[in-house]
């Protein structure tokens, strides 16, 4: 064979090979995809309706009903429909606010424990149809369902099983009415995504005028099987909420958090409404028998219903952001309550705070860092199949996932960046249609060629978000240590949230030591003591410092990264209170009286109940000062009693002869429970006395106890001395 024919032969050979390569490739690909089965499901699995609920993430609770007009949290049932009289009710405003806040739905208290119905039910006269609102022609559930539709929100229904108005409560007839109410609500208002059954149940009430205590058996009285069947029949896609579901569970606290370990599964058959082991709801059961994920419900204010006395207690941004991370970030959904006010609107302060929360969360998750300039790899890929590749965890598609081989229940996912990248948030999601699996994992990062551990946690579930100190990493590795089966991770996201800039918190102890704190350690704090506005050139706060004479402290938080600062926070401190002692009080337990000068307005001391004369307390300051005024913090409790509305303030040099230094009224103190400051002509004194000439008996809430004529409470007393 000559060279020419060799060459020809070679060409023919090569052509044949080249022609076969794509075929071979397709062949390999075909088999690698085809043959690798997905991992077998592990444990109880979510239903379709539960899966749809997981996607709801963040939605509103609205407590708006008779209590809004009676200033109560639990109405007795003896209220009259005429009392329900909103002046500017606008459910479209609620929907607009919820939508703009980033929420996905609204759950409304169609009937609370007092029995008043927000729709014209056929079952009782105790409803909007006998109220002045829209001359009795209104239907709030209809209005809200239309508003939700308009704004692309889903509608949920809260229907209290307990009914303190119904005369037949406790009889089988009431249960028939309760079921009929449920039928009305689930038939006439379009799609409902969630039905909320409250665990609070049975007890004293009006009950059609009987005014007595009625006990029922929570497990059997409401015929839960029948109740659930009604929901399934009329709204097959709706999830049912209660302590034990059957679809969605309460998280076992109303403070707004789930435990870090949070299984979406529970031994559901052990749970019933009012379950005494409710703390277990905070973390679920690792060996659960049913899918029963947690919904974290809390209110944006202390109360579920609107009370003007809580206008200054709308939760801080810091608190709301924390709640977001401790609910949504801990495998739960976040149900945030908006107490619509007696006008019928979400209050301006609540709106403002909701939008601030939205802005902050948007900033935290603004830019996902695995999507550009990052590569992902895994320690094991199921059947080496591209169907289960590590890339599936960062492709933004919730239907694809990274999975490991059968028997491989631990392993790593590693992200490698092109250049060192700052990160402080990690979001992980398991592919829950195959069950919740991960029991234990750690997160490590390569920083300056060194591997460091940045966090160690237990469960993941549908969504887990970790927050950690900002690090500049070249690689990040999630090391799944233990799982109930092969790993199935659908999503991994990394973020660099901006430094968290919120107004600093200032406190002082009785010795006079001032402490200033901000939630983000990367944010700096600066202050002045001469009344001037602080800047980043003022004194930097490094550690607690002493303030033992009259001082106006102004403080800012400053973020050098963004070069932004907060508005200054101003606080006045006078002489330290450590030497102070209670000298006398008209009544009350003096052993706890130090609470009225412990520098904490959230604690209080009060005189006795049922006293018929004005009460006072006198204090020995331990030394003589030139006093030119005093301060008084009213009770900050959820159900405050004994707030002084009209006062007399006395001074004395010997604790025996008292001189009236000031008297007057703290106007609007009950609705606006802020620190009161009264100045008068300077006088020398070692002893002071504050008398409640008139006091407010307190919110008319059942839990607040009996009303006492002159029970007088003091959260904090202070003096203003001459420099
Ligand atoms: C509780 C109720 O008793 C409260 O009034 C409120 O509705 C809250 C959401 O659930 O069990």
Q: How confident is the model at residue 701 (pLDDT cuts 50, 70, 90)?
A: very low
| Most confident among 11-15, 590-594, 658-662, 694-698 (mean pLDDT) | 658-662
Q: Half-sphere exposure (CA, 13 Å, Cβ side) for 575?
A: 20
Pocket of ligand 1 (CB under 6 A): 73, 198-200, 297, 304
Peptide bond into 19 cis (omega under 30): no
Q: How confident is the model at residue 373 (pLDDT cuts 50, 70, 90)?
A: confident
Residue nearest to atom 4 of ligand 1 (CA): 304
Residue 11: predicted pLDDT: 53
**Which residues lie across from 553 on neighbouring strands?**
571
Q: How confident is the model at residue 9 (pLDDT cuts 50, 70, 90)?
A: low
Q: What angle do CA 140, 250, 178 make, to 5 degrees?
A: 45
Indicate if the pLDDT at residue 17 is higher than 80. Answer: no
Q: How many CB atoms lie within 10 A of CB 628?
A: 18
pLDDT tens across 628-648, in order? 999 999 999 988 999 999 999
Which two three-digit tokens encode residue 239?
A: 């999830």
Q: How far apart are CA 576 and CA 673, in angstroms?
A: 24
Q: How far apart are the first and last CA of the chain?
A: 115
Task: Name the nearest CA neighbour of 95 among 125, 128, 59, 123.
Answer: 59
Percentage of the chain beyond pLDDT 70 is: 94
581-721 matches 369-495 in CATH topology: yes
CA of 212 to the centre of ligand 1 (A): 21
Q: How far apart are CA 417 and CA 402, in angstroms?
A: 19
Mean pLDDT of 125-151: 98
Q: How many CB atoms lie within 10 A of CB 487?
A: 32
Q: How far apart are CA 212 and CA 218, in angstroms?
A: 18
pLDDT tens across 231-258, in order? 999 999 999 999 999 999 999 999 999 9
Tell me the best of 107, 158, 194, 200 to mutate to test the pocket of ligand 1, counting ligand atoms within 8 Å of each CB and taking the most. Answer: 200
Indicate if the pLDDT at residue 20 is higher than 60. Answer: no
CA of 73 to the centre of ligand 1 (A): 8
Q: For 581-721, CATH number? A: 2.60.120.260
Q: How far apart are CA 525 and CA 681, in angstroms?
A: 36
Residue nearest to atom 11 of ligand 1 (CA): 200
Mean pLDDT of 455-468: 98
CA of 200 to the centre of ligand 1 (A): 7
Q: How far apart are CA 487 and CA 261, in angstroms?
A: 18
CA of 72 to the centre of ligand 1 (A): 12
Top CATH class of 369-495 equals mainly beta
Atom of ligand 1 nearest to the CA of 198: 11
Q: How confident is the model at residue 699 (pLDDT cuts 50, 70, 90)?
A: low
Domain locations along the chain: 49-364, 369-495, 505-573, 581-721
Q: How far apart are CA 572 and CA 49, in angstroms?
A: 55
Residue 202: predicted pLDDT: 75
CA of 715 to the centre of ligand 1 (A): 27
Q: Looking at 1-10, 526-535, 566-575, which range is the least confident one?
A: 1-10
Q: Looking at 15-29, 97-111, 316-330, 491-505, which range is the least confident one?
A: 15-29
Which two three-digit tokens encode residue 497?
A: 């949230």
Residue 697: predicted pLDDT: 85
Q: How far apart are CA 515 and CA 306, in angstroms?
A: 33
How far from chain centre, in Å, is Cα 275? 22
- In the numeric block, the tokens 């050139």 are attached to 537
In this prediction the pTM is: 0.89
Atom of ligand 1 nearest to the CA of 109: 7
The helix, strand and coil proportions of the chain, stated in percent and rounded to the nearest 5, come to: 25, 35, 45
Mean pLDDT of 22-35: 50
CA of 198 to the centre of ligand 1 (A): 7
- SS3 for 521-560, per residue? CCCEEEEECECCCCCCCCEECCCCEECCCCEEEEEEEEEC
Burial 393-417 (b: 16+ CB within 10 A, else e): bbbeeeebbbbbbeebbbbbbbbeb
Q: Looking at 202-206, 406-410, 507-511, 654-658, which range is the least confident one?
A: 202-206
> 331 with 459: CB under 8 angstroms?
yes
Q: Looking at 418-427, 443-452, 579-588, 707-716, which range is the least confident one?
A: 707-716
Mean pLDDT of 634-663: 96
Atom of ligand 1 nearest to the CA of 305: 5
> 489 with 431: CB under 8 angstroms?
yes
Atom of ligand 1 nearest to the CA of 63: 7
Top CATH class of 49-364 equals alpha beta
- Architecture per CATH, domain 505-573, reads as Sandwich (2.60)
Mean pLDDT of 347-353: 98
């Amino acid at each position: 064979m000559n060279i020419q024919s060799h060459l020809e032969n070679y060409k023919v050979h090569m052509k044949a090979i080249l022609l076969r390569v794509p075929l071979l490739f397709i062949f390999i690909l075909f088999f690698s995809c085809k043959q690798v089965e997905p991992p077998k499901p592990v444990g109880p699995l979510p239903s379709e309706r539960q899966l749809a609920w997981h996607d709801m993430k963040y939605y509103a609770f609205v407590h708006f009903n008779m209590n809004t007009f009676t200033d109560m949290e639990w109405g007795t049932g003896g209220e009259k429909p005429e009392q329900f009289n909103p002046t500017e009710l606008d459910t479209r405003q609620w929907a607009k606010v919820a939508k703009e806040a980033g929420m996905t739905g609204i759950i409304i208290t169609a009937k609370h424990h007092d029995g008043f119905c927000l729709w014209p039910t056929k079952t009782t006269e105790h409803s909007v149809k006998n109220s002045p609102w829209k001359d009795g022609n209104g239907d709030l559930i209809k209005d809200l369902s239309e508003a939700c539709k308009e704004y692309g929100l889903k509608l949920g229904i809260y229907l209290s099983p307990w009914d303190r108005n119904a005369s037949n409560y406790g009889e089988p007839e009431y249960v028939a009415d309760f079921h009929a109410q449920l039928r009305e609500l689930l038939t006439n208002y379009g799609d409902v995504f969630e039905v909320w059954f409250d665990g609070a149940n049975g007890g004293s009430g009006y009950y059609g005028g009987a005014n007595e205590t009625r006990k029922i058996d929570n497990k059997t009285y409401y015929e839960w099987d029948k109740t659930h069947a009604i929901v399934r029949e009329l709204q097959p896609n709706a999830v049912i909420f209660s302590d034990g579901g059957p679809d969605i569970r309460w998280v076992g606290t109303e403070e707004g958090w789930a435990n870090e370990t949070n299984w979406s599964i529970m031994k559901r058959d052990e749970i019933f409404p009012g379950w005494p082991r409710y703390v277990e709801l905070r973390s679920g059961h690792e060996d659960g028998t049913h899918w029963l994920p947690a919904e974290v419900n809390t209110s944006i204010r202390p109360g579920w219903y609107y009370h003007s006395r809580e206008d200054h207690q709308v939760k801080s941004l810091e608190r709301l952001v924390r709640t977001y991370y401790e609910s949504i970030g801990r495998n739960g959904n976040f149900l945030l309550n908006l107490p619509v006010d007696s006008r019928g609107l979400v209050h301006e302060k609540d709106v403002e705070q909701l939008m601030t929360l939205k802005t902050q969360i948007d900033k935290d998750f603004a830019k996902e860092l695995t999507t550009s300039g990052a590569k992902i790899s895994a320690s094991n890929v199921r059947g080496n199949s591209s169907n289960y590749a590590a890339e599936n965890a960062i492709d933004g598609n919730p239907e694809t996932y990274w999975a490991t081989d059968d028997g491989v229940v631990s392993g790593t996912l590693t992200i490698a960046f092109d250049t060192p990248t700052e990160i402080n948030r990690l979001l992980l999601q398991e592919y829950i249609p195959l069950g919740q699996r991960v029991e234990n994992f750690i997160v490590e990062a390569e920083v300056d060629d060194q591997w460091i551990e940045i966090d160690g946690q237990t469960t993941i579930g549908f969504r887990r978000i970790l927050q950690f100190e900002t690090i500049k990493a070249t690689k990040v590795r999630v090391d799944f240590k233990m799982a109930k089966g092969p790993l199935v991770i659908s999503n991994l996201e990394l973020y660099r949230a901006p430094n968290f800039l919120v107004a600093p918190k200032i406190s002082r102890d009785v010795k006079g030591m001032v402490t200033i704190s901000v939630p983000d350690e990367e944010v700096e704090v600066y202050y002045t003591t001469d009344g001037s506005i602080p800047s980043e050139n003022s004194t930097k706060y490094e550690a607690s410092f002493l303030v033992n004479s009259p001082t106006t402290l102004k403080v800012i938080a400053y973020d050098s990264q963004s070069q932004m600062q907060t508005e200054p926070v101003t606080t006045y401190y006078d002489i330290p209170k450590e030497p102070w002692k209670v000298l006398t009080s008209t009544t009350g337990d003096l052993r706890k009286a130090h609470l009225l000068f412990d520098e904490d307005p959230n604690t209080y001391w009060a005189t006795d109940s049922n006293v018929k004369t004005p009460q006072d307390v006198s204090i020995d300051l331990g030394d003589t000062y030139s006093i030119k005024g005093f301060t008084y913090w009213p009770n900050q409790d959820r159900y405050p009693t004994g707030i002084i509305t009209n006062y007399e303030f006395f001074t004395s040099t010997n604790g025996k002869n008292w001189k009236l230094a000031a008297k007057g009224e703290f106007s609007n103190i009950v609705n606006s429970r802020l620190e009161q400051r009264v100045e008068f002509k300077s006088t020398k004194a070692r002893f002071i006395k504050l008398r409640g000439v008139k006091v407010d008996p307190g919110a008319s809430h059942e839990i607040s106890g009996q009303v006492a004529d002159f029970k007088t409470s003091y959260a904090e007393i202070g003096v203003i001395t001459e420099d």
